[in-house]
Amino acid sequence: MRHEFTSSSSPADRRLNALIRHLATASIQSGTAVAFSPTSSFHGDSIFSHVVLAPEDPILGVTVAYNKDPSPVKLNLGVGAYRTEEGKPLVLNVVRKAEQMLLNDRARVKEYLPIVGIADFNKLSAKLILGADSPAIQENRVTTVQCLSGTGSLRVGAEFMARHYHQKTIYIPQPTWGNHPKIFTLAGLSVKTYRYYDPTTRGLNFQGLLEDLGSAPSGSIVLLHACAHNPTGVDPTLQQWEQIRQLMRSKALLPFFDSAYQGFASGSLDQDAQSVRMFVADSGECFVAQSYAKNMGLYGERVGALSVVCKTADVASRIESQLKLVIRPMFSNPPIHGASIVATILKDSNMFREWTIELKAMADRIISMRKQLFDALRTRGTPGDWSHIIKQIGMFTFTGLNSKQVEFMTREYNIYMTSDGRISMAGLSSKTVSHLADAIHAAVTRMP
Ligand code: KET
């Protein structure tokens, strides 16, 4: 064996020599060898001088700009991240408790996780979104893999579809979270949009939605926000979901749910999962990407899961084997800490209850901010109908302010938000609501 490996005539050696010859001729032919000469790399322009400066991300870049502003009254309503009444980031008590338990457990080690992550975390995540009594789970028709928060779960699901699903087109709502088109395009899918929001009613364009999904090619993938649609805060009613389900199933459209706000829309985890559960109850197939960033406040821990609900247990296990082939070269295996926190909380009934109470308190504070902002604008007599502030749900209000008005509010009032007029209600507090109302009032009256 050893002799074969070192022998100049062994197959391995021959392949290695062929590779060396190939690389040498390739570099001479293409002239790339010149790039390694000391004169060009030390004294000439950088070999990267053609790289252009990319713009900041439309959402995360708002925080970059906010951080640079020295004003004491500045307000960051850009990124969807929860803040307390004092304007501070919140680590849930139940999360601190779980972390303490993990820290005290000397048996815990830092070994690599399996490619699919923590088994308990995966099972509990599927139960959380599909329901504890879901027949799909009982029949082992669901495969769940731990991924890097919602974004990573969407990306892994999309990469799988690009490799193994016959339809490469995904329909996303117009508008949607700004990262969706990038995630799906880079995964190799082709992105189209379906009508979703009607700016005149500031509500759902249900007719447009049905028409666009009705004319999508059979088998197309459809991205659906499970609840608390971002950025509009507008969700279909349960009756409308049922119509969407019937239409999609009749055309064999494949649902891909993005569940980033379970518990944040209504304050109830079960209620916010109803859309997904409807599509699972009909025994059809679907994909679900879950994030624990918002509902457990684990933003930076990057905890999420991708579940694929299949027709049979056999298909589910084959899909899982292929998901592993997607994950291994992408990030190899997921991190331990955040998913251990989630698993600790989900498997203990007392901690679970404590979590639901804290989650409801966050959701309720957001709802109360909607009321306060609405009242503040009414008191000021701000022109326009602002009732959408209290009608919309979830973390965001899609105000209807245009990019000029947003720019004005940032410049004159140091209020930071995305240029589409979306404000994160979770970043607002009773102390800052009047500053925001003043800014909106000025923007609307001075720049109608
Ligand atoms: N889906 C939706 C609909 C969504 O709004 C976000 C995050 C994600 C997925 C991904 O979250 P993750 O942290 O990967 O679990 N949205 C907020 C933050 C961001 O843009 O990254 C936002 O819209 O402000």
The response to whether residue 405 sits with its C-beta less than 6 Å from ligand 1 reads no
Residue 62 has which token pair? Answer: 């708002």
Number of the ligand 1 atom closest to the C-alpha atom of 292? 15
Q: What is the pLDDT of residues 396-431, one digit of tens each?
A: 999 999 999 999 999 999 999 999 999 999 999 999
Q: In a mutational test of the pocket of ligand 1, which residue from 177, 262, 290, 295 has the highest number of ligand atoms less than 8 Å from its CB? A: 177
Residue 418 has which token pair? Answer: 């995305």
Residue-wise DSSP of 314-381? HHHHHHHHHHHHHHHHHTSS--SHHHHHHHHHHHSHHHHHHHHHHHHHHHHHHHHHHHHHHHHHHHHT
Residue 218 has which token pair? Answer: 């059979």
Domain check: are 318 and 171 in the same one? yes
Closest residue (by CA) to atom 17 of ligand 1?
80
Q: Could you confirm whether 294 is annotated as catalytic?
A: yes
Q: Could you confirm whether 241 is annotated as catalytic?
A: no
**Residue-level pLDDT at 5:** 40
Total count of domains within the chain: 2
Number of the ligand 1 atom closest to the C-alpha atom of 225? 3
Average pLDDT over residues 245-266: 97
Number of the ligand 1 atom closest to the C-alpha atom of 80? 24
Residue 256 has which token pair? Answer: 């891909």
Domain check: are 298 and 333 in the same one? yes
Confidence of residue 17 (pLDDT cuts 50, 70, 90): low
Last residue of a domain, one of 347, 373, 403: 347
Q: Which residue from 151, 56, 55, 62 is spatially nearest to 421, judged by alpha carbons?
A: 62
CA of 178 to the centre of ligand 1 (A): 9
Which residues form the domain of 85?
A: 59-90+363-446
| pLDDT of 30 over the 80 cut | no
Domain check: are 258 and 322 in the same one? yes
| pLDDT of 16 over the 80 cut | no
Measured between its terminal Cα atoms, the distance across the chain in Å is 81
CATH number of the domain that 378 lies in?
A: 3.90.1150.10
**Residue-level pLDDT at 99:** 98
Contacts of 389 (CB under 8 A, 6+ apart): 370, 373, 374, 377, 397, 399
Closest residue (by CA) to atom 11 of ligand 1?
150
Domain check: are 342 and 375 in the same one? no
Domain check: are 284 and 379 in the same one? no
Q: Could you confirm whether 177 is annotated as catalytic?
A: yes
Confidence of residue 31 (pLDDT cuts 50, 70, 90): very low
Q: What is the pLDDT of residues 120-179, one digit of tens each?
A: 999 999 999 999 999 999 999 999 999 999 999 999 999 999 999 999 999 999 999 999
Domain check: are 227 and 370 in the same one? no
